[in-house]
């Protein structure tokens, strides 16, 4: 357990240093006016708020100017710091939920309420955290071609998001159809494993 905790802190520290350097590079690019203010491609959810005609552009503070883009990138950095912290919180909650769930599967029904409460906590932190990269300001650069740690992180995000949805759906149906128990457990383990993997690959 100590090794796991120490590893988490080392991963978080390395990631923070890399993120800071990336932000510095983006800010320097804005100041030199060498690149456009927005990348060519970014998520639709981001375009709704941060595109050239996005909702946030209606506010003077977020008009599309070099100065405002610097502020957006600082906001983006803060949002992703919160994303990292919530990621570790969620992973810890998933681990605790797995321990409780394994005891519940062995027939210890006294902890059923604890399992449901922890499940609710996992859902709150997980889906809140999932919204951060979807609605944060876009970065300056387009992603490089080919497989990268960011693209692998996104692929794993699809896996753990789908698994989380499946876990919740099966959790509601398992009370009336106990045969779904192994599928519920498999979905939960897949969610935890892919979530942990997505955090590891983005750090290195």
Mean pLDDT of 165-191: 93
Task: Kindly indicate the confidence band of residue 170, based on its pLDDT and cuts at 50, 70 and 90.
Answer: very high
**Average pLDDT over all residues of the chain:** 85
pTM above threshold 0.75: yes
Kindly report the CA angle at 120 between 114 and 121, in degrees rounded to 5?
90
- Identify the DSSP state of 144: P
CA distance 11 to 84: 10
| Banded model confidence at residue 141, pLDDT cuts 50, 70, 90 | confident
Neighbours of 127 (CB within 10 A): 14
Quick one: 202 exposed, middle or buried, by C-beta within 10 A (0-12, 13-18, 19+)? buried
pLDDT at 5 > cutoff 50: no
| End-to-end Cα distance, the chain | 22
Q: In this predicted structure, what is the pLDDT of residue 34?
A: 60
Name the phi and psi angles at 74, rounded to 5: -70, -40
CA 187 – CA 31 distance, rounded (Å): 47
């Amino acid at each position: 357990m100590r090794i796991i905790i120490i590893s988490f802190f080392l991963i978080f520290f390395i990631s923070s240093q890399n993120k800071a350097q990336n932000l510095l590079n983006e800010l320097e690019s804005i100041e030199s006016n060498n690149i456009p203010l927005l990348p060519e491609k970014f998520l639709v959810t981001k375009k709704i708020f941060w595109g050239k005609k996005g909702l946030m552009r209606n506010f003077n503070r977020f008009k599309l100017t070099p100065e405002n883009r610097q502020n957006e990138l600082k906001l983006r950095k803060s949002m992703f710091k919160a994303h990292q912290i919530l990621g570790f919180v969620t992973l810890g909650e998933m681990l605790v939920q797995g321990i409780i769930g394994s005891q519940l599967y062995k027939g210890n029904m006294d902890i059923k309420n604890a399992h449901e409460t922890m499940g609710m906590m996992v859902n709150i932190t997980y889906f809140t955290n999932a919204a951060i990269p979807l609605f944060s300001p876009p970065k300056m650069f387009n992603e490089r071609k080919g497989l990268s740690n960011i693209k692998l992180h996104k692929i794993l995000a699809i896996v753990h998001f789908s698994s989380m949805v499946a876990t919740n759906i099966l959790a509601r149906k398992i009370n009336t159809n106990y045969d779904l128990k192994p599928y519920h457990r498999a979905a939960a383990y897949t969610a935890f494993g892919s979530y942990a993997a997505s955090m590891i690959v983005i750090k290195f």
